[in-house]
Amino acid sequence: MDKLMNQKNRVLLTGSNGFLGQKFTDLVLQRKNIELCCTSNSENRNPNNIGYEFIKLDLLDFEGLERLIHRFQPTHIVHTAAMTSVEACEMDPVYCQELNVHVVSKIAALCKQEDIHLTFLSTDFVFDGENGPYDELSATNPRNAYGQSKLDAEQAVIESGCRATILRTILVYGIIADKNRSNLVLWAKSKLENKEAIKVVSDQWRMPTWVDDLAMACLLSIDKNAEGIYHISSDKMYTILEAVEELADYWNFDKSLISAISAAEIGQAENRPRKTGFILDKAKKDLGFTPTPFKTTLAAIEQQFKYFRK
């Protein structure tokens, strides 16, 4: 991290109210050599709101976006804002295309024009799930509009010619201060803690990604001014059910409350990949990325609960 610690960077973060956005903000604020400007289309929801500039901005307002970039003059943009719900993307394909593709194309063009390094967040859903785990050169074949929009956005970034890191990730989980942000681990923990029965998919395989690891990968991308596609996740494959069972074991929850359900039973057999997972060799070698084991992240989350939910 020597370069990061000694170089003054100006980072513009989009989607700062999002799960990754809030975690990345908190991480950057621990560094004294990064000037941060955060944007979201709603008021700042991060309780950690001192030490950076926040601008409320609709990214579809391209003129406003361009004015902000020219005023703040970032050295780096971390673009996390996106429409991420598979069902929402299917129901509103026009907005999905606008936010997930057209906005990215505009940002990439501005990055090329102003020589700004871009970090763009993508997804394992660019793959069909037939041959996972995947490396960065594996053939893509999205099964839904969300995955297709992210693949289209990746192509827009590449075609722009800007200096860019594309970080694909999988099933992000963890905890932030914002209680409205949930994910697989928080959902399962809350339900089982309250002795509520849950049904969990047993025939989808993933390598879940701790949000803290993903935020660090974004920082590593800035540090290295990395270029190209990188896969970021944990390095152990689980079914969704197995991940929840390991969580239950860690917190000594009653596993009889957990029952298996198939992807087909909840309408996810066709519109989501069956088995993804990533080969992380490139990210480990080029970025110095080190995934945190799932059980270790649960211990960290337990400690973070004491801070965020005090």
pLDDT tops 80 at residue 309: no
Q: What is the reported pLDDT for 306?
A: 87
pLDDT at residue 161 greater than cutoff 60? yes
pLDDT in tens, 28-48: 999 988 999 999 999 999 999
Q: How far apart are CA 237 and CA 243, in angstroms?
A: 9
pLDDT at 251 over 90: yes
CA distance 229 to 164: 9
User: pTM here?
Assistant: 0.96
pLDDT tens for 104-121 read 999 999 999 999 999 999
Model pLDDT, residue 4: 43
- Spatial neighbors of 101 by CB under 8 A, at least 6 apart, are 149, 152, 153, 156
pLDDT at 233: 98
The burial of 286, by beta-carbon neighbours within 10 Å (0-12 exposed, 13-18 middle, 19 or more buried), is given as middle
> Tokens 């942000």 map to which residue?
181
Beta-carbon contacts of 290 under 8 Å, excluding residues fewer than 6 positions away, are: 284
CA-to-CA distance for 112 and 114, rounded, in angstroms? Answer: 6
In 10 A of CB 63, how many CB atoms? 7
Helix (H) or strand (E) holding 114: helix 103-114
| pLDDT, tens digit (0-9, with 9 covering 90-100), for 172-183 | 999 999 888 899
pLDDT tens column, 275-284? 999 999 999 9
d(C-alpha 233, C-alpha 280), whole Å: 8
